């Protein structure tokens, strides 16, 4: 079975069309939703450290303006192309909709392998890209708000902010022009780990649904589930970290140079440090090496988390995948053929557009923080602690019993920024799970969770367009 004939955007369109059949909207409106509204193609020069001039290819796509600003990361990768950025922008629209984040989908990409450029060169590229976006009105707290993605992080986001601020002096909400910033530049605590944490919350919630677990023949809950994670980047690392913390067994971790397996469960942090020190995940003490990284996807396990790049599970290797649950940490790791295979087999695929929405959810919290100009928890922390303390004192007086120091601390604790961000994300992921599952239960002809998620997303976007009355 080969699935080369789909481009990435084509695969997103195919999933959309598959789901659209389960909705009541007319084809014109559906077509308006699935198309990319604006596609910006850029070519600009930068000077390399050796004095040579290089022309850089870059994109920013705004998939949907049904809500503004548009929102989505910027990736730096040698494989970046227009089709990929369009697909990723479209996924952002559906992702935001599913987790009730009031943004349209956007995405940016610069076609470079960041490992081949010095920090100074990367800074020049990022700043020039940002000034191009400003010139074309493709960035701003109310128009389009980038964030980190594959190959970018806090450092690039602070360059973007600094460029924006210097070209738009005095704009009071300027900090909201980009998210995923360092805390000192207006970032929010919890954003760094947000995507991985969302992957964990979402998977845990699915594992708490009795009828799904019964069908898979698995016990309810996350504890002792055997997990394989592909990719130790920001998403994979944090997802693995939270799985381990919750009592799951991370039996294998894979990176591009290979994978390691230990049925007893790996210590994620120790593996991460080992890779940092030796430059490779392989030869971790006590674990077995797998030289061909992709073979790790085929290991026997309960939960498989592909958290690297797109199309890693396709028509060719899908029949060899043994996991009962596949949680898409990356964007688009499964091809449509792989989807069809797993739907027939009964494997649960938790789709990217829901499962990795933790990043954009916390980006939304960061953007709100930037617009309100106040840190979460600042106003209520002390007040909450005082109220809790009075309640506890009153209870102790009435019962004549004293609580120990640990319990007192726990009960009194007023929320810090990170507490509020984590609980806001947890609430978001749990609600989204049940919205998708309810849509699936309401229509048992829907073949899989991805299609159910698309149905939810399409219905929400279409309702907005219909209520706007732009299709008389």
Which residue of 62, 363, 370, 433 would you call a contact of ligand GLU, by CB under 6 A? 363
Q: Produce one character per residue of 118-129: b if its CB has 16 or more CB atoms within 10 Å, e if not.
A: eeebbbbbbbbb
Minimum distance from residue 105 beta carbon to ligand GLU (Å): 9
Which residue of 114, 236, 332, 359 would you call a contact of ligand GLU, by CB under 6 A? 359
The DSSP string of 303-368 is EEEE-S-TTSB-TTTGGG---SEEE--SSS-B-HHHHHHHHHHT-EEE-HHHHTTHHHHHHHHHHH
Cβ(281)–Cβ(253) below 8 Å:
yes
Catalytic residue among 71, 95, 107, 324: 107
- Closest-CB residue for ligand GLU? 73
| Residue 72 or 196 having the CB closest to ligand GLU | 72
Beta-sheet pairing, 104-110 with 53-62 = antiparallel
Which residue of 12, 147, 207, 251 would you call a contact of ligand GLU, by CB under 6 A? 147
Which residue of 34, 66, 71, 226 would you call a contact of ligand GLU, by CB under 6 A? 71
428 binds ligand GLU (CB under 6 A): no
Half-sphere exposure of 59 (CA within 13 A, CB side): 29
The alpha carbon torsion through 351, 357, 358, 363 (nearest 10 deg) reads 170
149 binds ligand GLU (CB under 6 A): yes
Q: How far apart are CA 324 and CA 214, in angstroms?
A: 12
| Residue 147 or 251 having the CB closest to ligand GLU | 147
Which residue of 69, 72, 108, 377 would you call a contact of ligand GLU, by CB under 6 A? 72
Minimum distance from residue 89 beta carbon to ligand GLU (Å): 10
The residue count of the chain comes to 472
Q: How far apart are CA 366 and CA 157, in angstroms?
A: 13
**What is the total count of residues that contact ligand GLU (CB under 6 A)?**
12
| Residue 97 or 331 having the CB closest to ligand GLU | 331
Ranges within 320-339 binding ligand GLU (CB under 6 A): 331
Q: How far apart are CA 306 and CA 342, in angstroms?
A: 15
Q: How far apart are CA 102 and CA 219, in angstroms?
A: 36
Minimum distance from residue 150 beta carbon to ligand GLU (Å): 8
**Candidate segments 182-190, 199-207, 214-222, 352-360, binder of ligand GLU by CB under 6 A:** 352-360
Minimum distance from residue 91 beta carbon to ligand GLU (Å): 7
Which residue of 251, 266, 360, 453 would you call a contact of ligand GLU, by CB under 6 A? 360
**Candidate segments 67-75, 317-325, 400-408, 464-472, binder of ligand GLU by CB under 6 A:** 67-75
| Residue 151 or 258 having the CB closest to ligand GLU | 151
Ranges within 174-193 binding ligand GLU (CB under 6 A): 179-180
| CA nearest to 455, candidates 13, 12, 18 | 18
Q: How far apart are CA 68 and CA 231, in angstroms?
A: 32
**Candidate segments 66-74, 376-384, 388-396, 397-405, binder of ligand GLU by CB under 6 A:** 66-74
Cβ(336)–Cβ(357) below 8 Å:
no
Cβ(229)–Cβ(216) below 8 Å:
no
87 binds ligand GLU (CB under 6 A): no
Report angle CA 140, 89, 328 to the nearest 5 degrees.
125
Minimum distance from residue 462 beta carbon to ligand GLU (Å): 22
| Residue 290 or 432 having the CB closest to ligand GLU | 432
| Burial classification of residue 329, based on how many CB atoms lie within 10 Å of its CB (0-12 exposed, 13-18 middle, 19 or more buried) | buried
| Residue 61 or 301 having the CB closest to ligand GLU | 61
| Residue 299 or 436 having the CB closest to ligand GLU | 436
| Residue 229 or 360 having the CB closest to ligand GLU | 360
Helix (H) or strand (E) holding 153: none
The DSSP string of 222-250 is STT-EEEEE--SHHHHHHHHHHHHTT-EE
Angle between helices 449-468 and 8-20 (to 10 degrees): 80
**Candidate segments 32-40, 70-78, 272-280, 406-414, binder of ligand GLU by CB under 6 A:** 70-78
107 catalytic per annotation: yes
Q: What is the DSSP letter of 402?
A: P
| Residue 363 or 451 having the CB closest to ligand GLU | 363
Residues identified as active-site:
107
- Interface positions with ligand GLU (CB under 6 A): 71-73, 147, 149, 179-180, 331, 356, 359-360, 363
């Amino acid at each position: 079975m080969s699935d080369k004939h789909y481009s990435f955007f084509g695969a997103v369109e195919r999933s959309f069309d598959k789901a659209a059949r389960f909705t009541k909207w007319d084809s014109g409106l559906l077509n308006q939703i699935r198309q990319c509204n604006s596609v910006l193609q850029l070519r600009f020069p930068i000077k390399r450290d050796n004095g040579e001039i290089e022309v850089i290819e870059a994109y920013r796509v705004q998939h949907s303006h049904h809500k503004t600003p548009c929102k989505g990361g910027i990736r730096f990768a040698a494989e970046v192309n227009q089709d990929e950025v369009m697909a990723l922008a479209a996924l952002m629209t559906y992702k935001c909709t599913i987790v009730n984040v009031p943004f349209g989908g956007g995405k940016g990409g610069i076609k470079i392998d960041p490992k081949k450029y010095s920090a100074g060169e990367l800074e020049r590229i990022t700043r020039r890209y940002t000034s191009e976006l400003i010139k074309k009105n493709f960035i701003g707290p109310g128009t389009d708000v980038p964030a980190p993605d594959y190959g970018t992080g806090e450092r690039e986001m602070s360059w973007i902010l600094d460029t924006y601020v210097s070209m738009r002096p005095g704009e009071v909400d300027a900090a909201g022009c980009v998210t995923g910033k360092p805390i000192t530049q207006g970032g929010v605590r919890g954003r760094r780990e947000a995507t991985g944490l969302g992957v964990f919350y979402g998977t845990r919630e699915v594992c708490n649904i009795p009828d799904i677990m019964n069908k898979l023949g698995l016990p309810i809950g996350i504890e002792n589930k055997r997990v394989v994670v592909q990719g130790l980047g920001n998403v994979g690392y944090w997802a693995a970290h939270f799985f381990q913390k919750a009592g799951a067994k991370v039996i294998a971790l894979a990176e591009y140079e290979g994978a390691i397996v230990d049925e007893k469960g790996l210590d994620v942090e120790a593996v991460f440090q080992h890779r940092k020190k030796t430059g490779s995940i392989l030869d971790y003490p006590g674990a077995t090496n797998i030289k061909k990284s992709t073979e790790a996807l085929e290991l026997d396990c309960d939960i498989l988390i592909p958290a690297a790049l797109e199309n890693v599970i396709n028509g060719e290797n899908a029949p060899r995948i043994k996991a009962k649950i596949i949680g898409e940490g990356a964007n688009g790791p499964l091809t449509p053929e792989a989807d069809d295979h797993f739907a027939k087999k009964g494997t649960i695929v938790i789709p990217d557009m829901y499962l990795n929405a933790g990043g954009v959810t916390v980006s939304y919290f960061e953007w709100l923080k930037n617009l309100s100009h106040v840190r979460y928890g600042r106003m209520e922390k002390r007040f909450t602690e005082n109220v809790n303390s009075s309640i506890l004192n009153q209870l102790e007086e009435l019962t004549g019993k004293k609580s120990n120091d640990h319990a007192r601390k726990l009960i009194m604790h007023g929320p810090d920024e990170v507490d509020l961000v984590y609980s806001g994300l947890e609430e978001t992921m749990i609600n989204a799970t049940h919205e998708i599952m309810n849509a699936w239960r309401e229509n048992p002809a829907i073949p899989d969770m991805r299609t159910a998620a698309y149905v939810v997303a399409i219905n929400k976007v279409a309702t907005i367009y219909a209520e706007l009355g732009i299709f008389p």
